[in-house]
Structure 1
């Protein structure tokens, strides 16, 4: 079994992070925590050798093994962490179990046996059910534990879950991610965190395993808001890009050349160069399902309404995604929104 501790002869391998933490000792305050220096660059390590050691959790839970959750949990296991997993469909856990993960039959059991539990769920309803339902994680939480929700939900949902978790004496951090399937696989996600600062500092080494950067944004709700704003922009960009591809083709231009032109200009974005060629071929392998993009646009529009902010472009984009969903494209990549425009033609 792989562990982030000296309980296992296999030492966690962090060389791909550009740093190797110094394992100091097992903390006497808890049988499941270690006293470990924070991950840092070699230069930082040499200049802060006298800084106090920080504890990081020894047992990590992961709830939700979909397109994003599976590679995130896989990267934790690959780094040598002791990971316990749960998913509604148990078969999705099997590949991770084969790599050394443990399995529990409910979120409650995972939370009860782990120091910190991460959750990556598809929507607010699932996030609430997994955290607060009959056998939800909150039932297994207690003082000294932490719950990190990396799902994309609205601020009200995040605050509700936070209240239930904190009511058990445990710590809560919202940490929605910016990035899709490939960044999740490559450990290149961006974490937008808010909530308990002590928990943020405690899980920072694990966020560094799964991502390339992290932001601490203060009170619970700020992380959710930042993620919704980012995805609102992304959804609108994809809708506009779809219009451009179809217009170029309609006037006799090669849309493949349009993708090249865009990728070399001021409006260049990785999303265009990655998605464009497949869109020209009408292929939409799911990296970020269209139904989730539409959900995020809906939540972002609700956020804008709550502060009386006009968002006409995002509102129009949302209608395009709704049309694409009505054509059975919910589980295709969000770039399939281009098919909504083709349908209108």
Structure 2
């Protein structure tokens, strides 16, 4: 029976690892703050001592951390994955990073004798809990095939996108569009209310037209309730917007809408909304 590691048990990683456990997979977990492992240990997971330790004993190790710096630290650090992986074992980084970070990790994993796949996800806390994430995989195709049974538990869709960097790029494009839509939506909600319109009626009109989508429905209610309980931390969206704009710079692609949206997310971070949900960008719009 294959064994699986999972590194990083935040809002997303914890839910994803729990789904693997519930599906009967043999899972070893590690988190920088060990107390985050407690619930998974109760559910039958083993606890690893370090990323190195987990990668050394598991056939495939998954990771879900916050940003490129954390991704590189967990993979390339003194007790990182590269120090334990080898003999064709696999490492799947599901964090949202830029393509250069993915390529650097891939090179180090391959040098250490392992296989690497990037697999960032589209989806937030509830899809992670429900196992309905969209997993954007790229890299070693044999590892993709080996990891597919796990992807089918964690997500509803897991396309293979080709060489390393394409998964990262797809995720940045998706989140760039989402962030830009959310700022425009926030402006519309604010304008509607200031002009005397009923915001609930605006949501109803949007829900029945060409722009109907789950994000407007869920985030619209959050704006009306002034409740920004975190599903996707705003600081992570701003990081993704920044990385997408940097990709645009590299490819000489103008991104004026995304750049303007990014400034609103930066302002929201400055005003203390970093750890609140991405919907909190509404606070600076209104």
Q: What TM-score do the two structures reach when normalised by structure 2?
A: 0.99
> What is aligned with 2:142?
198
Q: Which protein has the larger Cα radius of gyration, Structure 1 or Structure 2?
A: 1
Tell me the SS of whatever aligns to 2:273.
Answer: coil
Deviation at 1:132, TM superposition (A): 0.5
Distance 2:11 2:202 in 1: 30
Partner of 1:237: 181
Aligned runs of 1:290-305 on 2, under 5 Å?
A: 290-305=234-249
Pairing of 1:55-70 with structure 2 (within 5 A)? 58-70=2-14
Taking the aligned partners of 2:48 and 2:147, their CA distance within structure 1 comes to 22
SS in 2 for 1:326: helix
Q: CA deviation at 1:259?
A: 1.1
Match of 2:48 in 1: 104
How far, CA to CA, are the matches of 2:240 and 2:23 in structure 1? 31
Residues 124-178 of structure 1, C-alpha deviation per residue, up to 9 Å, x if partnerless?
0000000000100110000220000000000000000001111111100000001
Q: Give the one of 199, 202, 223 matched to 1:258.
A: 202
> Aligned to 1:270, which of 194, 211, 214?
214
Unaligned runs of 5+ in 1: 6-57
Which residue matches 1:249?
Answer: 193
Match of 2:81 among 123, 128, 137: 137
User: How much does 1:112 deviate?
Assistant: 0.7
Q: 266, 271, 276: which is aligned to 1:322?
A: 266
Shift, 1:82, TM fit = 0.5
d(CA) in 1 for partners of 2:228 and 2:250?
A: 34
Write out aligned runs for 1:222-233 (5 A): 222-233=166-177
Name which of 153, 160, 163 aligns with 1:209.
Answer: 153
Correspondence 1:80 to 2:11: no
Structure 1 counterpart SS, 2:163: coil
Shift of 1:228: 0.2
How far, CA to CA, are the matches of 2:73 and 2:130 in structure 1?
A: 29
Q: Which has the higher helix share?
A: 2
Offset at 1:256?
A: 1.5
Q: 2:63 aligns with which of 95, 119, 123?
A: 119
CA distance in 2, matches of 1:290, 1:310: 24
- Give the corresponding residue for 1:50: none
Give the SS at the match of 2:267. Answer: helix
Structure 2 counterpart of 1:219, from 157, 163, 170: 163
Higher relative contact order (CA 8 A, sep 6+): 2
Deviations 1:53-91 (A, max 9, x none): xxxxx1100000001000000000000010000001111
Deviation at 1:244, TM superposition (A): 0.4
Question: 2-side partners of 1:168 and 1:278: how far apart?
Answer: 46
2: CA distance between counterparts of 1:152 and 1:252?
A: 40
Quick one: which of 297, 302, 307 aligns to 2:251? 307
Q: Which residue of 1 aligns with 2:115?
A: 171
2:271 matches 1:341:
no
In structure 2, distance between residues paired with 1:279 and 1:123: 27
Cα shift at 1:218: 0.7
